[in-house]
Structure 1
Amino acid sequence: MTVPLGGIPLADHAAVYATLHGCGFTDVWSSEVAGTDAFTPLALAAAWQPGLRLGTAVAPVFTRGPGLLAMSAAALAETAPGRFTLGIGASSPVVVGDWNAVPFTDPYGRTRDVLRFLRAALAGETVDAAYDTFTVRRFTLERPPAVPPAIMLAALRPGMLRLAGAEADGVLLNWLAATDVPRALGELGQRRPGFEVTARIFVCPTEDAGYARTLGRRMITSYLTVPAYAAFHRWLGRDETLGPMWTAWAAGDRRGALAAVSDDVVDALILHGSPEHCRQQVRRYVDAGVDVPVLALLPTPEVGAGGAAAVTELIARLGPEGEG
């Protein structure tokens, strides 16, 4: 499950983590955009529910210096030995440049170099190296973790996917349909032993299809108009289906862009229906090659009316234990 959950204060997530663990969820994965940072929700989970695996999806490679990113990862790896995975990625020009005042330059090179730096630093090595995108002088972690975390790479298109397959411990997929998974995995090449495929899957567990599709259209026009995601979906073959949306968006016609997103596209990218139906749809990702499906729970009318109790009931119905 993606954490923290919307509408529930971070300080109240002890009950959320207990519910997740109790109904069969194995992992909690954080994100980092403009809400919480990627590490704090996981630190709380490590203290409150030590049976859960933890992962960042993702910590951007631009918004922290290499040394600080290594320190944050090392601290969490020390707190949860063998249970923490560091997911890193390039993020976007908005998050990096507009919100964090850092030039978004050569995202592939920066991601590759940070991955290589972290591999050495988290192993306890002294790093004194000039990478293509930055230079580090004699950095050594004072508290290298006894169990270095696995490092996963967020990847969309072939170049980053191949880098993940060649040098990372796993790949993080996002914003793709179950039918898209084989195309992405086909670019990974020969994988490292223990390589994991993780995918974030947007889930809106409501039988109000109109509500779910309206929300889905808003999300799709917000995200898939970002150049990296637009290029990703062109590569996946959605030029024809998403082309009218991109044209309207580029012309400043936000209403037209929303109207141009078909139900079929929404239904492929945003799972909706009863919790039981959503769980069945998630299985399609697993069948396609995803090892760790990470649900991103979207708001629903039912949960909005029922508060925290409704959220915990919904989690129980979505979880693996809900099957039996």
Structure 2
Amino acid sequence: MSRWGLTIPLTGVPLTAHRELVEQLPDLGYTDAWTAETAGTDAFTPLVLASQWAPQLRLGTAIVPVYTRGPGLLAMQAATVAELAPGRFVLGIGASSPVIVSNWNAASFEEPFARSRDTLRFLRSALAGEKVTEKYETFAVSKFRLERPADPPPSIMLAALRPGMLRLAAREADGAITNWLAASDVPQVRSVVGPDVELAARIFVCPTEDAEAARGLGRMLISSYLTVPVYAAFHDWLGRGEALAPMHEAWAAGDRQKANQVIPDAVVDELVIHGSVESCREQVQSYVDNGLTTPIIALLPTGGDPFEQVRGLAPR
């Protein structure tokens, strides 16, 4: 069964003001509410609220960085939300980016593949209630045991872009979470993880028929994200390296304005959904049709009523 998710909280909407909408999501056809963690809300608190507002929803983090909390604290927070939403919480973890990890959180961004793998393995044991004493490649834990392990333990999904991390997600996690891809890219990613693994993706949706406004916002987002080395490598693998090369050259030269200008319309239109609400909903569905299990809508601000837009984007 395909799922249908929404990223919360919505931009510009106070966290407590989400109750009215979140309570309606299951009746609208949404199955999931997912959070992110950059420099806004933390990933867990909105899900604590949602667990009480809409007990039918599956809740997920997409994603929590593996560097910005100690392994034990990460397990504690995951177990807490899992206790509030028994069998309905998915812990999505990932390497994040050097900006978030090092520049903003004073942690060392080293060996992202190994750190993600080691954190995943630790969490598997810890969230099962085991006492963990283990020397992993990237950290060591001695005699850690959760005082309140959740029953059942939460699922764990791994943020993954390229084949190595995608294969790790398929092999050791309960699914893969990806980001910044077009509907036409889904089969390439699916071919790596296999047919039976849950594949989730955050999809940026800008419901406006002002194409130039949507593309302007999309360009700013694309130049901010896809110049990060891991995303640049992801899009090289997907086949957009040549189309994005002028953006990378301008960005490296320090010309942010030019970097935005040289992103082709075709690339923006592939990566940022825009148009009428009905058209946007159909474009989200195209990801599902191409093999995505769980679309996670990230609503971009347009000046319209975001609650009405979320209602309009509900699955049909």
The two structures have a TM-score, normalised by structure 2, of 0.97
Q: Is the 8 A contact 1:204 1:300 kept in 2?
A: yes
Matching residue's letter, 2:8: V
Q: Report whether the alignment pairs 1:182 with 2:187.
A: yes
Q: Counterparts of 2:231 and 2:191 in 1: how far apart (Å)? A: 19
Counterpart residue number, 2:306: 311
Q: Is the 8 A contact 1:30 1:42 kept in 2?
A: yes
Gaps of 5+ in 1: 304-309
1:70-100 deviations in Å (ceiling 9; x for gaps)? 0000000011001100000000000000000
Segments ≥4 residues shifted beyond 3 Å: none
Question: For 1:257, what is the secondary structure of its paired residue?
Answer: helix
Question: For 1:187, what is the secondary structure of its paired residue?
Answer: helix
Taking the TM superposition and a 5 Å limit, the aligned residue runs for 1:219-258 are 219-258=221-260
Q: Counterparts of 1:237 and 1:317 in 2: how far apart (Å)? A: 33
1:103-130 deviations in Å (ceiling 9; x for gaps)? 0010100000000000000011111000
Q: 1:271 aligns with which of 263, 273, 284?
A: 273
User: Between the two proteins, what is the percent identity of the paired residues?
Assistant: 61
Q: Counterparts of 2:194 and 2:35 in 1: how far apart (Å)? A: 27
Q: Counterparts of 1:268 and 1:133 in 2: how far apart (Å)? A: 37
Q: Counterparts of 1:316 and 1:222 in 2: how far apart (Å)? A: 29
Q: 1:289 aligns with which of 288, 291, 300?
A: 291
Matching residue's letter, 2:30: F
Q: Report whether the alignment pairs 1:43 with 2:48.
A: yes
Q: Counterparts of 2:307 and 2:16 in 1: how far apart (Å)? A: 16
1:138-178 deviations in Å (ceiling 9; x for gaps)? 10000111111110000011110110011000000100001
Q: Report whether the alignment pairs 1:55 with 2:68.
A: no
Q: Is the 8 A contact 1:125 1:140 kept in 2?
A: yes
1:43-63 deviations in Å (ceiling 9; x for gaps)? 000011111110000011000
Q: Report whether the alignment pairs 1:299 with 2:294.
A: no
Q: 2:201 aligns with which of 181, 199, 202?
A: 199
Q: 1:90 aligns with which of 83, 90, 95?
A: 95
Q: Counterparts of 2:195 and 2:270 in 1: how far apart (Å)? A: 28
Q: Report whether the alignment pairs 1:123 with 2:128.
A: yes
- Select between 197-206 and 16-25 the one with higher mean Cα deviation: 16-25
Q: Counterparts of 2:128 and 2:163 in 1: how far apart (Å)? A: 28
Matching residue's letter, 1:31: A
Q: 1:2 aligns with which of 4, 7, 28?
A: 7
Matching residue's letter, 2:261: A
- The number of residues matched between the two structures is 311
Taking the TM superposition and a 5 Å limit, the aligned residue runs for 1:63-78 are 63-78=68-83
Gaps of 5+ in 2: 1-5
Q: Counterparts of 1:149 and 1:111 in 2: how far apart (Å)? A: 17
Q: Counterparts of 1:135 and 1:232 in 2: how far apart (Å)? A: 30
Matching residue's letter, 1:20: L
Residue 20 of structure 1, CA deviation: 2.1
Q: Counterparts of 2:27 and 2:194 in 1: how far apart (Å)? A: 37
Counterpart residue number, 2:211: 209
Q: Is the 8 A contact 1:57 1:154 kept in 2?
A: yes
Q: Counterparts of 1:190 and 1:267 in 2: how far apart (Å)? A: 27
Q: Report whether the alignment pairs 1:100 with 2:105.
A: yes
Question: For 2:130, what is the secondary structure of its paired residue?
Answer: coil
Q: Counterparts of 1:285 and 1:101 in 2: how far apart (Å)? A: 36
Matching residue's letter, 1:32: E
Q: 1:218 aligns with which of 217, 220, 234?
A: 220
Counterpart residue number, 2:33: 28
Question: For 1:296, what is the secondary structure of its paired residue?
Answer: strand
Q: Is the 8 A contact 1:166 1:189 kept in 2?
A: no
